[in-house]
């Protein structure tokens, strides 16, 4: 029996885990949410079974655990359970998902993410084009620009998934990058900018193109220092701009219009909820309670403790990537940290696939192997 289990490759477990988790979640971000929501209990049950299976394989088949690691993971599990609270199980579900990821290198993870995400996105767009769902269009306030969602609940979600496709594609092609790869990324950029008119993903894709085309002069040590500086700069800048808005600073007020009232929402939440260790678990009953900033959302919703844990995990991961000279992963982490200043879903692995690399700090001791 044990010998048969050892024949099961870790990548198969990851493919099952990611496919069951991501496809359902991506469809939940589309106009088909009501068609698929009725199966949410079955999906959660199946995903929990797969996470449990992944943990058992890591413990007994892949033997990724020792006593020290087991105790550390148990303590972190208790901490995250308290920090996530009874109001939001998604953070704890993410923790279990990361624990269940078996030893798989990031090249294989990226290929899985690219395949699954592209398949889900293309199927939603095609079904919508065939009339199965509604194409929702938005007029950007203060302009005559129309934004199209192509089957997603809003254009920003569609653009965000396209950005994840670009990241995974770039990581896979990094060492063998060619001119035709630029054409593909540029085509996606045009779709994001001209049709969804999503500004943050557009800027990030432009930066991605810059990084990959300058990859021959990038130094792992320098780029890791830059990434580490963002761990301090992004939260401080997010908090600083919010405080300036609260003080009616003219620059911050003008910037808030460009940022679609992100500073206004954050200011409102800071005025009504205290900063503490365990967070406030804010129930979003109105638009102004939706904090569209990953760092401030962690701080107010989950508390200082979980924010420190996330930033510490990013710091350790950046250090590991630098030691393994994985510049491509560091670039992806940099763009993810930047994206966190205007998005709140960075803790969702289907929305921010770089978070899957956190598995290198847990049971995935193969993340940096053979990433060619």
- Residue 217 resides in a domain: yes
Give me the chain's average pLDDT, please.
Answer: 92
Is 256 inside any structural domain? no
Number of domains in the chain: 1
Residue 181 token pair: 């790869």
Total residues found in the chain within this entry? 372
Whether 258 is in a domain gets the answer no
Cβ(8)–Cβ(61) under 8 Å? yes
Q: List the domain range (segments joined by +) for residue 329.
A: 2-222+306-361
Give this prediction's pTM. 0.95
CB burial class (10 A; 0-12, 13-18, 19+) of residue 36?
middle
Report if residue 253 sits inside a domain. Answer: no
Query: Tens digits of per-residue pLDDT, 175-203?
Result: 999 999 999 999 999 999 999 999 999 99
Identify whether the C-beta of residue 204 lies closer than 8 Å to the C-beta of residue 332: no
pLDDT band at 335 (very low <50, low <70, confident <90, very high): very high
Smallest CA-to-CA distance from 292 within 243, 336, 341, 236 is with: 341
DSSP calls for 312-327? HHHHHHHHHHHHTT-H
Question: Would you call 273 helix, strand, or coil by DSSP?
Answer: coil
Of 147, 109, 141, the residue nearest 22 (C-alpha): 109
The H or E element spanning position 117 is helix 106-129
pLDDT tens per residue across span 70-113: 999 999 999 998 888 655 678 899 999 999 999 999 999 999 99
CA distance 58 to 46: 18
The verdict on residue 269 lying in a domain is no
Task: Give Dmax (Cα) for the chain.
Answer: 69
Q: Please indicate, yes or no, if residue 58 is contained in any of the structural domains.
A: yes
- ∠ CA 121-126-131, nearest 5°, is 130
pLDDT value at residue 284: 82
> What's the mean pLDDT in 123-129?
94
- The residue that leads in pLDDT, 83 or 222, is 222
Average pLDDT over every residue of 145-165: 93
Give the model confidence (pLDDT) of 243-301 as tens digits: 999 999 999 999 998 888 899 999 999 999 999 998 898 888 777 888 999 999 999 99
Predicted confidence at residue 86, as pLDDT, reads: 57
Assess if residue 101 is contained within a domain: yes
Return the percentage of the chain with pLDDT > 90, whole number.
79
Q: Residue 350 domain-assigned?
A: yes
């Amino acid at each position: 029996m044990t010998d048969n289990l050892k024949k099961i490759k870790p990548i198969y477990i990851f493919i099952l885990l990611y496919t069951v988790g991501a496809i359902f979640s991506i469809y939940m971000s589309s106009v088909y949410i009501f068609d698929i929501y009725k199966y949410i209990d079955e999906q959660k049950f199946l995903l929990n079974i797969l996470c449990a299976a992944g943990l058992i394989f890591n413990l007994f088949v892949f033997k990724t655990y020792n006593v020290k690691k087991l105790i550390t993971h148990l303590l972190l599990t208790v901490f995250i359970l308290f920090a996530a609270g009874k109001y939001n199980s998604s953070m704890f579900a993410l923790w279990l998902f990361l624990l269940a990821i078996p030893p798989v290198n990031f090249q294989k993870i990226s290929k899985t993410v690219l395949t699954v995400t592209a398949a889900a996105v293309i199927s939603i767009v095609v079904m919508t084009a065939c009339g199965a769902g509604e194409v929702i269009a938005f007029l950007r306030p203060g302009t005559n620009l129309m934004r199209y969602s192509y089957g997603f609940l809003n254009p920003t979600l569609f653009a965000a998934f396209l950005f994840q496709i670009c990241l995974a594609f770039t990581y896979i092609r990094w060492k063998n990058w060619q001119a035709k790869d630029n054409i593909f990324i540029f085509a996606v950029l045009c779709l994001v900018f001209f049709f969804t008119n999503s500004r943050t993903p557009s800027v990030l894709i432009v930066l991605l193109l810059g990084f990959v085309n300058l990859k021959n002069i990038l130094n792992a040590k320098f780029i890791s220092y830059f990434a580490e500086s963002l761990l301090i700069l992004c939260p401080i800048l997010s908090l600083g701009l919010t405080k300036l808005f609260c003080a009616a600073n003219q620059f911050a007020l003008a910037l808030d219009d460009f940022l679609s009232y992100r500073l206004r929402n954050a200011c409102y939440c800071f005025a009504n909820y205290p900063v503490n260790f365990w967070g406030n678990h804010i129930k979003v009953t109105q638009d102004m309670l939706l904090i569209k900033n990953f760092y401030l959302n962690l701080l107010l919703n989950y508390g200082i403790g979980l924010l420190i844990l996330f930033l510490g995990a990013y710091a350790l991961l950046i250090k590991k990537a630098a030691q393994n000279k994985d510049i491509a992963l560091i670039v992806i982490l940099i763009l993810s940290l930047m994206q966190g200043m205007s998005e709140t879903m960075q803790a969702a692995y289907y929305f921010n696939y770089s978070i899957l690399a956190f598995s290198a700090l847990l049971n995935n001791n193969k993340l940096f192997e053979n990433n060619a």
